[in-house]
C-alpha cells in the first residue's frame, strides 16, 4: 500500500503540483484516499475485497467523488489512464464508480453492474479506452 500511495502522490504532484495531498484511511477491505485541494476534491476507495457489496468485483478502484475544478472531463480521463497504467502492478483490475450522480461512468465508458436507486458501474482496467 505504501508504494501505491507514493505513486499516487507523485502523480498528483506532477499533474497538479500538490505534494503529499492524499489522506489515507485503511479499512478491512483495503483503504480509502481523500484529496481536498484548491482545484481538486476526490474520494476514492481501493478495495482488495468487496465481499459482494454493490456488485463490485474484488480488486476494484472505486471513484466515489472526483471533482476537478478545471477541465473535469479531461482530468478524469487522465486519472483513469494513470490507474490503467500503474494500478495493475498492485493487483487492481477494475475501475468503478459508486452512486454516480455526476455520470463519471459516461466519461470513462464504464458498464452498469448494479441498477436501481444507487447504480454502480465498472470496467476492467485493461478494457478502459481513455
**DSSP state letters, 24-85:** EEEETTEEEEEEEETTEEEEEEEES--TTGGGPPSSEEEEEEEEESSSHHHHHHHHHHHHHH
**Domains, the chain, ordered by start:** 24-127 (3.40.630.30)
Of residues 92 and 104, the one with the higher pLDDT is 92
Q: Can you give the pLDDT at residue 98?
A: 87
Please report the pLDDT score of residue 114 as a whole number: 79
Q: Report the percent of the chain where pLDDT is more than 70.
A: 98
50, 73 Cβ separation under 8 angstroms:
no
Instruction: Express each pLDDT in 12-60 by its tens digit.
Output: 999 988 888 899 999 988 999 999 998 899 999 999 998 777 789 999 9
Amino acid at each position: 500500500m505504501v508504494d501505491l500511495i507514493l505513486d499516487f502522490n507523485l502523480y498528483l504532484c506532477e499533474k497538479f503540483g500538490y505534494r503529499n495531498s492524499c489522506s489515507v484511511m485503511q479499512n478491512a477491505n483495503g483503504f480509502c484516499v481523500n484529496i481536498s485541494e484548491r482545484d481538486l476534491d476526490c474520494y476514492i476507495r481501493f478495495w482488495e475485497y468487496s465481499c459482494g457489496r454493490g456488485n463490485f468485483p474484488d480488486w476494484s478502484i472505486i471513484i466515489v467523488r472526483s471533482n476537478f475544478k478545471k477541465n473535469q472531463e479531461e482530468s478524469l480521463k487522465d486519472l483513469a489512464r494513470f490507474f490503467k497504467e500503474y494500478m495493475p502492478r498492485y493487483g487492481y483490475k477494475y475501475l468503478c464508480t459508486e452512486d454516480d450522480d455526476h455520470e463519471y461512468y459516461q466519461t470513462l465508458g464504464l458498464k452498469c453492474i448494479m441498477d436501481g436507486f444507487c447504480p454502480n458501474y465498472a470496467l476492467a482496467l485493461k478494457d478502459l479506452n481513455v
